[in-house]
Each structure stands twice: as C-alpha cells, then as structure tokens.
C-alpha cells in the first residue's frame, strides 16, 4: 500500500520493517474516537475559515459513513494499513478525493493519537468503574447477610480476635471504593485535549482548540504543545490505578482460595466458578480466583513496561510511545475480564457460617477480651496481659479453652475472676462490645454498609 507520507522517499519500506512499524493490529480499537476527533477538527477548520464550509460538511458526512460502515462490518479494517489514523484518512480520500486531503490541515498524527487515546481510555475507564460498582453492590449485599456471622480475624495468619464476616468483607468494599475514586481522579487529570498541538510546535493557522475540546467532551486544552504530544502520564496514572485494583482483587482471591480449602472450609464456591481435576475425582479447584491472582502480575508488568518505555525519551513524540497502547489495552482487558468473573463468583459463593464459628471457638481469640475483663475490674492492662498469658499456657498444656476453664482454675491465677467472666468472653459479647468507630461491632458495621450504599448512590 502506498504511504500517505511517501513523497520524500524514492523507495518503498521493507515488508518486515513495515509490519514492525505498524500498529493497526491494536490501535484499530480506537476507530470511533479517531473518527469523532476528525469530525470535530473538520468542523473547527470550517468555523475558523481554514477550509470551506462545503468541504468540511463533505468530510464530516463521509466520516459518518465510514464510522457506520466499520460498525456494520461493511468496511473491514485493512490489516496492511500503518495505523488507524492513516486507515481512516486513506479511506476518506478514496471516497471523496481531494476534499478528504484537506482534513489533516493544522493537525499531526502526534496530537491525533494523543487525543484518540485519551478519549478511548475515558470510555473504557467508565466501564471499569461500572464493573467496580457492581462488585461493591455484591459485597455490600453479602455483608448485610453476615452481620452476625462470627469468624476468627487473623494477624500473621494466626487467629487473633473474633470479627464478623460482614466486617471482613467491608474491608474490601473500602478498597474498591477507593479504587473508583482513584480512577475518577485519573480521568479528571487526563480530560484535557491535546488536539491542535500538531507535531509539537503548534501551528500557523488560526485554530480554535477550545471549541474542539468542548465538542469532544474535554474539560479544557493542554497548555503546552510539546507536553500535549509527549505526555503519557495519564497512561501511567491509569495503569497504576488498574494495578492497585488487581492487587486488591488478588488479595481477595487469595483469601477465597484459602477459605475454600479443606483446612478452612469457610466458603464453598459455586460449581459454575470452579473446575475439576483430570486425575483426582474429589477435587474442586478455585481456578478463577487463582487466575485473577496470577493475572495481577501481568498488569503490574504493563505498568512497569510503560514507565520504562517513557523514562529515557527526549521530547517530544518518539515512536517508542506507540508501545503505550498494547500495554494499557492489555491491562484494561485483563481488569475487565477479572472483574467479569470475580463478581459473580463472590455473589454465588456459599458462606459456611458454622465452620467459621467453630474456627473462632479455637485458638484463644478471646484472650484480649479476658485481659480487658480484668482491666475493667481494676487491674492495669500489662498485669492482666501477663496473667492471661499464663492462663493460655495452662489451657494449652491441659487441653482446655478459655470459655470452659473451671472457675477454680481461674481463681488459682487471680481472685479478680468471677462467674460473669464467661459471658464477658463469649464470642458474641466480644463482637457486640466492640463499639469504637470502624470496629467489628454491629453498629459500626451497619454504618459501613450505609456508607457504601451512599457511595454507590452518588
């Protein structure tokens, strides 16, 4: 295919070099944004009397036809084209001849690709936000059903203190709500139009960049044309927000994997989100959760690759920057796929409340509450802590638990103990009496559920 830039050359590009250079394979995704951007540009060129009104209308009509033809499948995207920008322009010119050649006045592919990518990422990020909201709604629903479900809370993966499953799930709700805000912030930073920066130095034509920006839904224009074409901070910001989402999904996945093991058996995943083994008939594997955990690494890789690609680039545009798209498109696809299976996997998971409760009964997770009991009776916390440590050691030796250790044994450690201690250290009391803001107590948990509901309503 002869190149739109062929004028200066006496020889065609080598076939392998041409394939190597081409980005149509992945940037054809941006056809809609490319065409919309060109339409706004053509309208501005006429409004500013840079091209005639008739020419502009002809260009805009034809671009509309091209868009419809791509969408209906009538116009397949030519895999031999150099990139989506060249493809659309060549198609335009083949349909309306010389008029089509006027479109690229006061514009360059450098500002064109920068504007297309920002618009594309804006749209995709909206979709990811919607998926995160769906996940939040599922988590909040599950939390509402488990305000009284007691399980051990862990530190160092050792049983630590009793908590409710609602409280545990809501920790993830907080993470995902922050992820949404992070994405919204990144979009805010990105939502400035670089179009009209041209190759790097701006243009001699009397363009109106603001009107184009407004027509394309931007909040304004980038203020430096060199920065306009060479800035990819928005890719880095989004990729890091996507990486944090994956990190959260991965931690959650890790817990789902642990919880569905025979060792824990806190949850049972629905058959539709598990797989069997080709050899071991008893197996029900949490492959979806494992894959989400595994794919986190590739999104981190997309972030690292992009940062590394950018770090040595002189201003302004360099072809290295074409690599931004494969990385960020891969990250978007991965995040979308992961959220797509993770949310229904959580929605359909069965919570095995009895097993959670049984696990909470073991492991002395009410030891802190026993110490607090002694403090309420007048002992300093450190002294109480020491005595409870000795009682725990005694229980371990004798195969006892705090809940049923006889009163005479308690009395041998301190006179302070009375029969009311059994109620004070019951798992239910331990949870109910956690009254501090943000705690596992039911009042606090209800407030957290309300917060997420309000967040989703906004």
Of 227 and 254, nearer to ligand ARG (C-beta) is 227
Tell whether omega for the bond before 44 is within 30 degrees of 0, i.e. cis.
no
Catalytic residues: 156, 277
Cα angle value 440/142/283 (rounded, 5°): 110
Of 120 and 252, nearer to ligand ARG (C-beta) is 120
Q: Determine the number of helices (DSSP H) and then strands (DSSP E) in the chain.
A: 19, 4
Please state, as a whole number, how many other Cβ atoms lie within 10 Å of the Cβ of residue 279: 6
Question: Pairing between strand 150-155 and 350-351?
Answer: unpaired
Cα angle value 29/67/228 (rounded, 5°): 55
Of 113 and 427, nearer to ligand ARG (C-beta) is 113
Residues 140 and 156: beta-carbon distance below 8 Å: no
Of 89 and 179, nearer to ligand ARG (C-beta) is 89
Q: How far is the CB of 126 from ligand ARG (least distance, A)?
A: 22
Q: How far is the CB of 187 from ligand ARG (least distance, A)?
A: 21
Q: How far is the CB of 325 from ligand ARG (least distance, A)?
A: 6
Of 229 and 339, nearer to ligand ARG (C-beta) is 229
Residue linked to tokens 């002992």: 379
Q: How far is the CB of 198 from ligand ARG (least distance, A)?
A: 11
Per DSSP, the residues of 276-305 read --SS-TT--B-HHHHHHHHHHHHHHHHHHH
Question: Tokens for 88?
Answer: 């659309």
| Closest among 238, 143, 124 to 456, alpha carbons compared | 143
Nearest-angstrom CA–CA distance, 219 and 63: 24
Q: How far is the CB of 24 from ligand ARG (least distance, A)?
A: 8
Nearest-angstrom CA–CA distance, 288 and 342: 7
Residues that bind ligand ARG (CB under 6 A): 23, 27, 83, 109-110, 113, 317, 319, 321-322
3-state secondary structure of 350: strand
Please enumerate in sequence order all residues whose Cβ is within 8 A of that of 108, keeping only pairs 6 or more positions apart, or say none.
197, 198, 199, 200, 229
Task: List beta partners, residue 150.
Answer: 164
Q: How far is the CB of 318 from ligand ARG (least distance, A)?
A: 9
Of 200 and 365, nearer to ligand ARG (C-beta) is 200
Residues 367 and 392: beta-carbon distance below 8 Å: yes
Nearest-angstrom CA–CA distance, 13 and 184: 43
Q: How far is the CB of 92 from ligand ARG (least distance, A)?
A: 17
Q: How far is the CB of 27 from ligand ARG (least distance, A)?
A: 6
Of 172 and 329, nearer to ligand ARG (C-beta) is 329
Give how far Cα 407 sits from Cα of 257, 370, 383, Å: 40, 13, 20
Helix or strand holding residue 323 (H, E): helix 323-347
Q: How far is the CB of 238 from ligand ARG (least distance, A)?
A: 17
Per DSSP, the residues of 110-129 read HHHHHHHHHHHHHHHHHHHH
Of 106 and 113, nearer to ligand ARG (C-beta) is 113
Of 252 and 317, nearer to ligand ARG (C-beta) is 317
Q: Is 156 left (phi over 0), alpha (psi -120 to 50) or beta?
A: left
């Amino acid at each position: 295919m002869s190149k739109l830039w062929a004028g200066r050359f006496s020889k065609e590009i080598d076939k392998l070099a041409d394939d190597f250079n081409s980005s149509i394979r992945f940037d054809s995704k941006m056809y809609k944004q490319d065409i919309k951007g060109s339409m706004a540009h053509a309208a501005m060129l006429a409004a500013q009397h840079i091209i005639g009104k008739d020419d502009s209308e002809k260009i805009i009509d034809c671009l509309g036809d091209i868009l419809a033809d791509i969408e209906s499948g009538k116009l397949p995207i030519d895999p031999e084209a150099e990139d989506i920008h060249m493809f659309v322009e060549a198609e335009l010119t083949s349909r309306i001849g010389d008029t089509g050649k006027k479109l690229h006045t006061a514009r360059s592919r450098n500002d064109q690709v920068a504007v297309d990518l920002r618009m594309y990422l804006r749209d995709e990020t909206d979709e990811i936000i919607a998926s995160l909201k769906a996940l939040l709604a599922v988590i909040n629903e599950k939390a509402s059903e488990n305000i009284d479900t007691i399980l051990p809370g862990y530190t160092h993966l050792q049983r630590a203190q009793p908590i409710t499953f609602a409280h545990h799930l809501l920790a993830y709700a907080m993470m995902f709500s922050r992820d949404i805000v992070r994405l919204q912030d990144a979009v805010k930073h990105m939502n400035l139009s670089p179009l009209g920066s041209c190759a790097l130095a701006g243009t001699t034509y009397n363009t109106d960049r603001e009107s184009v920006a407004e027509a394309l839904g931007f909040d304004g224009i980038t203020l430096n044309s060199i920065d306009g074409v060479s800035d990819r901070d928005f890719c880095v910001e989004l990729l890091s927000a996507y990486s944090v989402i994956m990190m959260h999904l991965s931690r959650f996945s890790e817990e789902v994997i642990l919880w569905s093991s025979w060792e824990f058996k806190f949850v049972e995943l629905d058959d539709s989100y598990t797989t069997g083994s080709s050899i071991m008939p008893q197996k029900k594997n949490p492959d979806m959760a494992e894959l989400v955990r595994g794919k986190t690494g590739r999104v981190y890789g997309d972030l690292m690759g992009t940062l590394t690609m950018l770090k040595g680039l002189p201003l302004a545009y360099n072809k290295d920057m074409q690599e931004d798209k494969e990385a960020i498109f891969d990250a978007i696809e991965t995040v979308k796929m992961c959220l797509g299976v993770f949310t229904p996997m959580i929605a359909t998971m069965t919570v095995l409340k009895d097993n959670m409760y049984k696990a909470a009964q073991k492991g002395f997770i009410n030891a802190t509450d026993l110490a607090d009991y002694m403090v309420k009776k007048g002992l300093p916390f450190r002294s109480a802590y020491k005595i409870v440590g000795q009682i725990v050691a005694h229980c371990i030796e004798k195969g006892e638990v705090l809940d049923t250790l006889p009163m005479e044994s308690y009395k041998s450690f301190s006179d302070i103990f009375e029969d009311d201690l059994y109620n004070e250290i019951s798992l239910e009391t331990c949870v109910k009496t956690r009254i501090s803001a943000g705690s596992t107590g039911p009042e606090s948990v209800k407030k957290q559920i309300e917060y997420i509901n309000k967040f989703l309503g906004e």
